[in-house]
Structure 1
Amino acid sequence: MTVTTTTLTRAAAAAAVVGGLLYVGVQINHPHLDLDFIATAEWKVRQSMKVAFATLSLAGITGMYLRQVKRTGVLGLLGYVVLALGFIFMVSIEVVGAVVLPAIAHSSPDYVTDILAVAIPGGHAAGDIGLMGLLINLDGVLYLAGGLLFGVALFRARVLARWASALLALGAVATVAIPLLPQVNFRLFAVPTGVALVGLGYSLWRDQRTPAALPLPEATSPRLDTAGAK
């Protein structure tokens, strides 16, 4: 298979669609975060889905950015870098959740419980969880700021679906309201971002069309010198 720009862009588009679907799917009937849950196979499956979401989404936004790098300008670059860092940090956090937390749940239950508490937006740890608390909070800031900036940049570029670009920005900002609405299931706030990624990925896929054939130069014939014709 020949690797071309179109092939890579379509791969990024597919990654964004699958990543968005995973993000929405992992929220459905998500159990409460506690020590009993992280000891189950379902926990490992959901954590793996989150790792896949962040990884695929990183590939997806990379394709989106490169497709319209000249149109998004400095705002697009800033939004892409911040959101990309958010996804990278998210991968590291979810890998720790999948591999490390179940292994130390019995020996350090208080520590694991505090990490699970901080993992919920607006949650606070009762004890000291070291740099994990900083990493989780920093990832939240990067996700919010990156989603907003990148969404606005895509909206202004007018290349991909503008409704999906606006939804990406609004979905990121909406997470600020989670601590203010404790009666609402906070996982519902992930749905707009997932839908936005699906919409942007599909828009990026459709954007990759075979360029129209260049028009052939008009046929020319030597001009007859009628002056000497007889």
Structure 2
Amino acid sequence: MNIVGKTSLQQRQATLSTATLIRLSGLAAGLAGLGFIVVGLFHPVNVPAAVTTATWVNVHIVAMAMALLGLIGMTGLYARQAEKIGWLGLAGYGLFSLWLVLVVGVSLVEAFILPGLATESPAFVAGFLGMFSGAASAIDLGAIPTLWKLSGAMFILGPLLFAIATFRARILPRGAAVLQGVAALLVPLGALLPPEYEPLVMVPVGLSLLWLGYALLAERQANAPERMVVSKPVKVA
């Protein structure tokens, strides 16, 4: 029975499956980065008059896809560095992932619910949009405004901690980690910008994810042949 040969084949298949998943997560991170850039450049001002426009709907559909792809991409980026990224990387990954989950839910409401309520319940629309400007809502929105306030810290600390851990791990490009860290520090400056320019703080974050995703994708492709080496089978009677 060819035990070693069978074991080697199983190991190769497992390695190829892992490499494929990592490669796909790199692609997802890159696409999420592009989504950040698109949302940052084209997000309309958060006013009730904007919610019925095609731009509003399309941007928030992109934001949903961005967040979902970002979850996949960040998981791959964390998995690739898991042995060296430590608790700091885990904390950054967790916080950034929580922010992305919140973005999925909020963007779902913005893309598919608010446009239909613009005329039927303008108070709800105004109250929901008030979360982003700090304006009080005439409608009880439950815990959503509180969660969104907390999300600001998640969006800053998550990428920042992950960037520091990535820089220290020396597995992915340190330049991309520096860019991600700087991008996270720029996020609070969005509050100082006019409302129409606030979303631009997402562009540097997108560029860093695009860089990290590309690095992950290219790295796995370059190293794939080395992982496909199989030991010479030894037959055991």
TM-score, normalised by the number of residues in structure 2: 0.82
SS in structure 2 at match of 1:68: helix
The residue aligned with 1:226 is: none
SS in structure 2 at match of 1:210: helix
Is the 1:86–1:139 Cα contact (8 Å) retained in structure 2? yes
| Aligned residue among 121, 125, 136 for 1:112 | 125
1:145-171 CA-partner distances (Å, limit 9, x unpaired): 111111111111111111111111221
> Which has the bigger relative contact order, CA under 8 A and spacing at least 6?
2
Is the 2:44–2:55 Cα contact (8 Å) retained in structure 1? no
Indicate whether 1:162 and 2:177 are aligned.
no
- The alpha carbon displacement at 1:191 in A equals 0.9
Is the 2:130–2:137 Cα contact (8 Å) retained in structure 1? no
The residue aligned with 2:5 is: none
SS in structure 2 at match of 1:81: helix
Deviates more, 1:142-151 or 1:33-42: 33-42
1:36-59 CA-partner distances (Å, limit 9, x unpaired): 221123222111100000110111
Q: Give the aligned CA root-mean-square deviation in angstroms.
A: 2.3
The residue aligned with 1:127 is: 137
Deviates more, 1:160-169 or 1:22-31: 22-31
| Aligned residue among 101, 104, 108 for 2:114 | 101
C-alpha separation in 1, matches of 2:42 and 2:103 = 21
Regions of 4+ moved over 6 Å: 213-217
C-alpha separation in 2, matches of 1:69 and 1:178 = 32
The residue aligned with 1:69 is: 82
C-alpha separation in 1, matches of 2:83 and 2:197 = 39
- The alpha carbon displacement at 1:114 in A equals 3.0
C-alpha separation in 2, matches of 1:29 and 1:216 = 53
Change (3 A) 1:216 1:117: closer
The residue aligned with 1:10 is: 23
Is the 1:14–1:205 Cα contact (8 Å) retained in structure 2? yes
| Aligned residue among 196, 199, 209 for 2:208 | 196
Indicate whether 1:91 and 2:104 are aligned.
yes
Is the 1:37–1:43 Cα contact (8 Å) retained in structure 2? yes
Change (3 A) 1:135 1:216: closer
Change (3 A) 1:110 1:201: same
The residue aligned with 1:207 is: 219
Count of aligned residue pairs for this structure pair: 213
C-alpha separation in 1, matches of 2:81 and 2:112 = 37
The residue aligned with 2:160 is: 148
- The alpha carbon displacement at 1:200 in A equals 0.2
C-alpha separation in 1, matches of 2:90 and 2:50 = 39
* Higher Cα Rg, which structure: 1
C-alpha separation in 2, matches of 1:160 and 1:32 = 36
| Fraction of identical pairs, as percent | 35
- The alpha carbon displacement at 1:216 in A equals 8.8
Q: Which runs of 5+ in 2 are unaligned?
A: 1-12, 233-237
Is the 1:114–1:124 Cα contact (8 Å) retained in structure 2? no
Q: Which runs of 5+ in 1 are unaligned?
A: 218-230
Alignment-mate amino acid for residue 172 of structure 1:
A
Deviates more, 1:141-150 or 1:101-110: 101-110
- The alpha carbon displacement at 1:83 in A equals 1.1
Change (3 A) 1:169 1:33: same
Alignment-mate amino acid for residue 200 of structure 1:
L
1:114-149 CA-partner distances (Å, limit 9, x unpaired): 322322xxx212325432211221222211111111
